[in-house]
Amino acid sequence: MVGGGEKAADCSLPVSSILVAGESVEKLFLWGHSACVLDNGSNKSVLVFGGFGGIGRHARRNDCFLLDPFSGKLKANDVEGAPSPRLGHTASLVADLVFIIGGRADPSSILNDVWVLNTANMEWKLIQCTGSVFSSRHRHSAAVVGSNIYVYGGLNNNDTILSSLHVFNTGNLQWKEVLGDGERPCARHSHSMLAYGSKVFVFGGYNGERALGDLYSFDVQTCMWKLEKTAGRSPHARFSHSMFVYKDFLGVIGGCPVGQHFQELALLDLQSHTWKQVTLDCIGKELLVRTTANVVGDDLVIIGGGAACYAFGTKFSKPFKVNLLPLVPLGDKLMPTEKNVNFRVSHAENAEALTQRPVMNFEAEKHQLVSDNRVLQLEKKYAKMGKDILKNFGWLDLGRKVYTKEDGLHICFPITEKFSAMFLKKHDQDVDVFEEGNDTFVCKPFKGGGILLNEVSCSTALNFLKKCGATNLANEVGEVRKSSKSPFQTMNESIALLIKQKDLAETLLEQLPNRWERLGDIVVLPATSFKDPIWDSISKELWPIVAKSLNTRRVARQGRVASTGTRDSTLEILVGDNGWVDHRENGILYSFDATKCMFSWGNLSEKLRMGNLECKDEVIVDLFAGIGYFTLPFLVRAKAKLVCACEWNPHAVEALRRNLEVNSVSDRCIVLEGDNRMTAPKGIANRVCLGLLPTSEDSWATAVRALRSEGGMLHVHGNVKDSQESLWTAHVLKSIDEIARSEGHCWEVSIEHVERVKWYAPHIRHLVADVRCSSF
């Protein structure tokens, strides 16, 4: 209990269905749509636009609906001249105008258009924008501050994940890219973004490798990014979720990967920067992926949502609303809670210092040496438990780093000044809540007959730490608090100083990269960076500066993939001893020498597609295995019975064998080194993968011969001009049919599907034709 007997943050919020009338509720069976709240004084409604799903055959939509969340009345607005059907767009309300930005019309059409809906007369208009170039994108986010719409991140036409921040001025209809300083977030899509005062907040998303759980703010007045430091249990990493603001709370709900904890509300108190977790009273089986969440009065209105991670499902959620009013009386009294580690202050505590939540000032004294600040030392075996206590009570100083003592047996946690004083003050005062001589409690699970953590008070937690042998010490590490400068800013300033010392032209700074990629632990710079030969004269001083600025031990510069048949990499290592890296993608570990083997980030969607096939009883031949780009998804994810992997680059073969071992699938793979036209098996395959660009045509006959006599599936890759897609598919179909007949097969050859993987170059697309060969 807290304060005057009110229950703490383990309150639940009532949930109620919205009984839709006027139109079929199935018209709101959507995901990837947009929604915003229209306030007509006495009447508030939610305007829903676009998305995937709807009544009848599921498809991309451009329908526009108004939903009254109180009466449940749903009204369709059939307006001529509406934007094209789309999903993954944003809708932003400025005065009585709704601005629709970007989205995906189909896999080959990513949009950058801006439409405006005048809600006074319900008329659509396409805006002719000026200013900076705003590239096509979907799965981005947008937030309104004043008359400006801030847009961050997303995916573009090439499936490149974006990290740019643009602002659209709705007054003069101009775009402007905002560079900003400070701690910039990484590139991401499927994240959330909202405005609170003069700041916009960005939470979560997907960076191409994993879900994110970080929270950033951008101050529109100072143009400064900041990684927010918070107390309490942060929300789990996620993407395709929803975010909202109610009173002084920022809320996060739903998302992927789907889990029970995503059917909770995570609330950030924007005054104290403390997270709290609140359960929903009676939520059903709704999977809140790519929903919309809008606050209408004291209700959170949830519309749509897909049934599968990343919204590829066919089940949709019905609209419902969550009453947020119970949050209001809790206000500042809410203590951070953990569902399983639920520490909270007991109202029976008399000491005001114990019932008062520590307030952490993360802005003060940014550059002050912290050697005078305190740390709490714990034995390593108690470190995880101790950290949970410190973090959940707001006692952990998140502005400093945790470090390990030289003996390797103790961990030191930076603590707040208030907690340090509290710990020392109570050192000799408190009577332990545990029986004397009972030293085993820290090793027992805290359930059943043990201590229930949801009954642990602040005083109990202090005694608990002491029982673990916690010691309050002076910080032995004389480190400076982290600088708010971005890596690019740090690199720019350091290299500018080096150039000045060497009396070189300042124009060289124009060759510094403002974007880079990470391959394992190697930072890969663009091929265009540091290209002037004069950089070589200062390379000994230059590259260590670059590595330090980017916080890495290895730096490389990208080159073009060699045009040799073995497609060798031309990556140049600038800092580091070798090019071997470990890169994890979709749960699969790829290990390879980046200076000798190429790796494509852009093929992720195709590797996911192959991994999602049902191949349990199949024999597969991969004619261009490389380091295992498709071989490993077939084995690890699709559970293929056997894969025959053909590869003639000896460096790739070395990496392939290593990757088969580390992913524990070597027993189901036969590596065939050499030219696949000579080494590939015949008459055994259910499926053949031909993953070579720009064309694999020289091995089409080899692929046909590898199939069983009754046929199978061919996955034919190729780079194709966008204007010649139909010609290419016709050529593939005709050629495979002719080869099959020449080999004596009476097959029916058809193209089941053409996958548009990515844009390889302007007007050139990477395609994969799924060619089915079936016996009559």
The candidate with the shortest Cα–Cα distance to 585, out of 518, 670, 652, 641, is: 518
Q: pLDDT tens across 304-337, in order? A: 987 543 333 467 888 999 988 878 654 333 333 3
Provide the 10 A C-beta neighbour count for residue 296. Answer: 18
Structure tokens, 524:
């890969």
The answer for residues whose C-beta is within 8 angstroms of residue 304's C-beta and 6 or more apart is 28, 29, 30, 31, 33, 48, 51, 53, 290, 291, 292, 316, 317, 319
Q: pLDDT value at position 602?
A: 65
More confident residue, 177 or 452: 177
Region of poorest pLDDT, from 192-206, 488-502, 551-565, 665-679 = 551-565
Pick the CATH number of 595-775 from 3.40.50.300, 3.40.50.150, 3.40.50.10240, 3.10.180.10: 3.40.50.150
The CA-atom distances, in angstroms, between 483 and each of 372, 376, 389 are 19, 24, 27
| pLDDT for the residue numbered 486 | 76
Q: Is the pLDDT of residue 350 over 50?
A: no
pLDDT band, very low/low/confident/very high, at 386 (cuts 50, 70, 90)? confident
Average pLDDT over residues 522-530: 88
Q: Give residue limits of the domains in the chain.
A: 352-474, 487-575, 595-775
Token code pair at residue 98: 């709704």
At 47, which helix (H) or strand (E)?
strand 44-49
pLDDT single digits (tens) 685-697: 999 999 999 999 9
Render pLDDT for 102-131 as a digit per residue (tens, 0 to 9): 999 988 889 999 999 998 888 999 999 999
pLDDT of residue 1: 31
pLDDT score of 263: 62
* % the chain with pLDDT above 70: 82
What is the per-residue pLDDT across 140-170, written as a single tens digit (0 to 9) for each?
999 999 999 999 999 998 889 999 999 999 9
Residue 441 has pLDDT above 80, yes or no: no
H or E, element range at 549: helix 539-549
Of 30-39, 354-363, 394-403, 664-673, the range with the lowest mean pLDDT is 354-363
Average of per-residue pLDDT across 45-63 = 87
For domain 487-575, the CATH class is alpha beta
Confidence at residue 763, expressed as pLDDT on a 0 to 100 scale: 86
Instruction: Out of 181-195, 245-259, 310-324, 653-667, pick the least confident.
Output: 310-324
The pLDDT of residue 6 is: 34
**Residue 55 pLDDT level (bands cut at 50, 70, 90):** confident
Tell which wins on pLDDT, 255 or 394: 255
In the chain, the percentage of residues whose pLDDT exceeds 90 is 48
Q: Is it the case that residue 470 has pLDDT exceeding 70?
A: yes
Stretch 537-541: mean pLDDT, rounded? 92
C-alpha dihedral, 453 to 459 to 465 to 470, nearest 10°: 170
pLDDT at 329: 54
Average pLDDT, the chain: 82
* Residues 404, 385: Cα–Cα separation, whole Å: 16
Q: For residue 696, which phi and psi values (nearest 5 degrees)?
A: -115, 20
In this model, does residue 729 exceed pLDDT 90? yes
Identify the pLDDT of residue 91. 96
The predicted pLDDT at position 490 comes to: 87
pLDDT of residue 59: 83
**CA–CA separation, 428 vs 32, rounded Å?**
58
- Quick check: 348 pLDDT over 50? no
So what's the pLDDT on residue 283? 54
Residues 591-622 have pLDDT tens digits of 888 888 877 666 788 998 999 899 999 999 99
Residue 11's pLDDT is 61
Stretch among 68-72, 82-86, 277-281 having the lowest mean pLDDT = 277-281
Query: What token pair was written down for 586?
Result: 């979709």
List the single range of 60-69, 295-304, 443-452 with lowest mean pLDDT: 443-452
Instruction: Report pLDDT for 282.
Output: 57
